[in-house]
Structure 1
């Protein structure tokens, strides 16, 4: 009787395992069909999070890419290597360069008929091959990834290094790129298939519970905003808005533009886990120091320089994954690239403002955003005392005018704009004209006595 009970228990356990492995397996599917960049990383991380929440056993990525940024490809690779879910990539139709690295990080590679895999040399934005240190780093990534999944490390390295000989698959001196059938024969891919249904059949998964990742409008907006090109334009808007705001008294359109661009720049990076509270804080402190330098502290010294440095660091650090200055760099020079993007955007925004700033302020489109009409006394307006009697009056600069600031005439303070561009604290000024309740002044030159 005891033997019968033990046999029955073993059979129940055996069939339970078979049933668990064959039926009701939860699969989470998502697609990456674009350049490997911040958008692809955001989709992958979002899909992974939702797959974990759904307690999925399998994570399937349908991949079709010609490559992209190494740092984002490495982030995806690391996520796939570290998960306890079974990972599958369905290459339909290309997995070149960064796509090859991602594919090698999965547990199972399936390729659509006519698909290709390989060619992973590191190049710059113009397609030029980067120096050896970048190629060496990429070879190491490919080798380590293949070894982690029990694949041929030398063959993976041949995707990057044309000097590696693989006689049956490529000519010497050429990069390795494999077709679907060649990948299967070489042992890199599991099988050549025509659909995800065939993948599940090959893996012995019957009646899988499939959840397909849905990309929301918010996901698409975030993916668009974290594009490096868009981030560059947002930085230009931030710097340009702050620069123009510091040149004019009061809070105006330029200040609102800077705030909007700052929100659009930091918000998606914060949601991605790149921008942290302290990075946003040092940027804000930098802006405050710049404002103090312009409106409060005479001259240009420590506060202004420190403000510029903090603004640069806040923007650049937000673009690179780090744990309070412990940078998780996935390729050499990544932090320097972030600083180059920020500095380039800053310089370009200032150049554009200097060249086109006055024309923009005078354009019909901009004038619609500001109050252009004068509220004259003849029209019944008395909310402001006319300053026409101040023209040709002599005053003293009570703050540095760069070009805006404050002056004092006969004990009264007024907002003023220097027509010479810069007037230092304490210098005498002469009122030249008055527009929209703002005085325009020049440095006062004492008349020379004639002998």
Structure 2
């Protein structure tokens, strides 16, 4: 009897262990897929391309978590903002391990993540917007950054703490503390005095809710996140991803726009087909190809650009003067370049924010105007300046007329007042025949068709200046 009782008692005691502990062990043995993205350089267009690709791969693999291994002194705000938006909109939890530094743009990215872990001795903060020389930008830039970093902190919501006497609602990440990382005027008692930009050490960040804990490695972070056991998938950028990051930077895109327009301009100024056209075509391929592959530049947007160039060519070669055709061509060419930079879907521009639109316009126009000024400065420094690295390629001496240097036969000046005919179309330059001899000439007022009667009115820059004789 006693033996049966002991067996029954043992069975009862064993039952919850089987249903509880073994079930939990089975649950804990489920492997978590963690996607690791390393950002160890300044935040720029390449960082954004790598982040976009990594998040896309993580979503396709149905990862359980994304971990950003971060060590950066900052970078460009526009790309940091794009990365933080990607993090905030991610369906997969995103965590960051700050390996020493998360300054400026790095702080903005870190605050966007669901949890922050730091190496002991690490730092986070100092997010004031500065230019390339390290000088603080005007307040309108700081205002945008203050608003952005506050909104990023607010996105994590609030905690409700219930005590015996009261209910306390507290921000998980205090927006005012985040703003103090940008604005030196913000003063928070016990945290930062006015006149200083806030930067936290790891322990200070923990005390103020901007860090969940310290760790010395990725493996320790994953342990603190209770993601063990785990399978770690590390993002490895392809050669194309790295090249695309360089090609899609606003600075290089501006230069490519300059080469496209400048190459076409110089090609139209010279006879035949030569080097300027080749430069323009290569620049156009480098500009549109990455955008087309990623779906930003649609077929119709590239077609608009090509139609614009065709209309400009028709205006130059076929239609006298400069009117609606040329203006339409310029508008279409500019529109094609700008639309290719926007993330619109056909004619739906709802996914495009005002910041992206303004950036696209600034990129195209700065590439044309700013790049043109830069090219003039470089040509002066490199070619014409004495001692420049390529100064020997350019003629540095002048040939004076009083020393016998005469480039053309000045006797053609005597042709002023004589009549002849146009041998080619003058638009405005071409060739004319006077007294049975063919000369280079240009029209003084309008395009002149072939075989039209002309009269020589002047002589300039080794050319006859002519005008059409009215019937």
Q: Does the 8 Å contact 2:58/2:66 carry over to 1?
A: yes
Farther off after superposition, 176-185 or 275-284: 275-284
Cross-structure match for 2:427:
401
Cα deviation, residue 104, structure 1: 0.8
Aligned counterpart in structure 1 of residue 88 of structure 2, from 81, 90, 105? 81
For residue 28 of structure 1, give the secondary structure of its aligned residue in structure 2. Answer: strand
Cross-structure match for 2:144:
137
Q: Does the 8 Å contact 2:35/2:232 carry over to 1?
A: yes
CA distance in 2 between counterparts of 1:104 and 1:423 reads 64
For residue 151 of structure 1, give the secondary structure of its aligned residue in structure 2. Answer: coil
Q: Does the 8 Å contact 2:428/2:443 carry over to 1?
A: no
Q: Does the 8 Å contact 2:69/2:96 carry over to 1?
A: yes
Aligned counterpart in structure 2 of residue 213 of structure 1, from 231, 235, 244? 235
The reply on whether 1:156 has 2:166 as its aligned counterpart is no
Cα deviation, residue 55, structure 1: 2.3
CA distance in 2 between counterparts of 1:417 and 1:259 reads 31
Cross-structure match for 1:49:
56
Aligned counterpart in structure 1 of residue 115 of structure 2, from 93, 105, 108? 108
CA distance in 1 between counterparts of 2:340 and 2:137 reads 25
Residue deviations 1:172-213 (CA, integer Å, cap 9, x gap): 221111112211222211122221111112122324211111
For residue 29 of structure 1, give the secondary structure of its aligned residue in structure 2. Answer: strand
Greater CA radius of gyration, 1 or 2?
2
Cα deviation, residue 299, structure 1: 1.1
Q: 5+ unaligned residues in a row in structure 2: which ranges?
A: 1-11, 157-171, 385-390, 394-418, 456-461
Cα deviation, residue 102, structure 1: 0.8
CA RMSD of the aligned region, Å? 4.0
Q: 5+ unaligned residues in a row in structure 1: which ranges?
A: 366-392, 431-439, 447-451
Cross-structure match for 2:276:
254
> Structure 1's 277 and 445: CA in aligned 2 closer, same or farther, altered over 3 A?
closer
Q: Does the 8 Å contact 1:240/1:350 carry over to 2?
A: no
For residue 268 of structure 2, give the secondary structure of its aligned residue in structure 1. Answer: helix
TM-score when scaled to structure 2? 0.73
Cross-structure match for 1:337:
362
> Structure 1's 30 and 354: CA in aligned 2 closer, same or farther, altered over 3 A?
closer
> Structure 1's 445 and 222: CA in aligned 2 closer, same or farther, altered over 3 A?
closer
Farther off after superposition, 125-134 or 164-173: 125-134
Q: Does the 8 Å contact 1:394/1:444 carry over to 2?
A: no
Cross-structure match for 2:165:
none
Pairing 1:423-438 to 2, within 5 Å after superposition: 424-426=447-449
For residue 307 of structure 1, give the secondary structure of its aligned residue in structure 2. Answer: helix
Q: Does the 8 Å contact 2:421/2:454 carry over to 1?
A: yes
CA distance in 2 between counterparts of 1:297 and 1:332 reads 34
For residue 211 of structure 1, give the secondary structure of its aligned residue in structure 2. Answer: strand
Q: Does the 8 Å contact 2:80/2:108 carry over to 1?
A: yes
Cα deviation, residue 263, structure 1: 0.6
CA distance in 2 between counterparts of 1:90 and 1:418 reads 71
Q: Does the 8 Å contact 1:63/1:94 carry over to 2?
A: yes
Cross-structure match for 1:95:
102
For residue 56 of structure 1, give the secondary structure of its aligned residue in structure 2. Answer: coil
CA distance in 1 between counterparts of 2:49 and 2:115 reads 22
Q: Does the 8 Å contact 1:28/1:60 carry over to 2?
A: yes
> Structure 1's 349 and 156: CA in aligned 2 closer, same or farther, altered over 3 A?
closer
CA distance in 2 between counterparts of 1:62 and 1:15 reads 30
Aligned counterpart in structure 2 of residue 118 of structure 1, from 118, 125, 132? 125
The reply on whether 1:286 has 2:308 as its aligned counterpart is yes
Residue-pair matches, total: 399
CA distance in 2 between counterparts of 1:268 and 1:252 reads 26
Cα deviation, residue 95, structure 1: 1.4
> Structure 1's 351 and 286: CA in aligned 2 closer, same or farther, altered over 3 A?
farther
CA distance in 2 between counterparts of 1:91 and 1:246 reads 54
Cα deviation, residue 238, structure 1: 0.8
CA distance in 2 between counterparts of 1:248 and 1:126 reads 41
Cα deviation, residue 214, structure 1: 1.2
Pairing 1:342-361 to 2, within 5 Å after superposition: 342-345=367-370, 347-348=372-373
Cα deviation, residue 10, structure 1: 6.7
Q: Does the 8 Å contact 1:67/1:96 carry over to 2?
A: yes
Pairing 1:221-260 to 2, within 5 Å after superposition: 221-260=243-282
Cα deviation, residue 38, structure 1: 1.3
CA distance in 2 between counterparts of 1:332 and 1:177 reads 33
> Structure 1's 312 and 342: CA in aligned 2 closer, same or farther, altered over 3 A?
farther
For residue 257 of structure 1, give the secondary structure of its aligned residue in structure 2. Answer: helix
The reply on whether 1:267 has 2:289 as its aligned counterpart is yes
Q: Does the 8 Å contact 1:400/1:424 carry over to 2?
A: yes
CA distance in 1 between counterparts of 2:177 and 2:328 reads 51
Cα deviation, residue 253, structure 1: 2.4
Pairing 1:294-443 to 2, within 5 Å after superposition: 294-323=316-345, 324=347, 325-326=349-350, 327-330=352-355, 334-345=359-370, 347-348=372-373, 395-396=421-422, 399-401=425-427, 403=429, 424-426=447-449, 442-443=464-465
> Structure 1's 260 and 352: CA in aligned 2 closer, same or farther, altered over 3 A?
farther
Cα deviation, residue 15, structure 1: 4.1
Cross-structure match for 2:226:
204
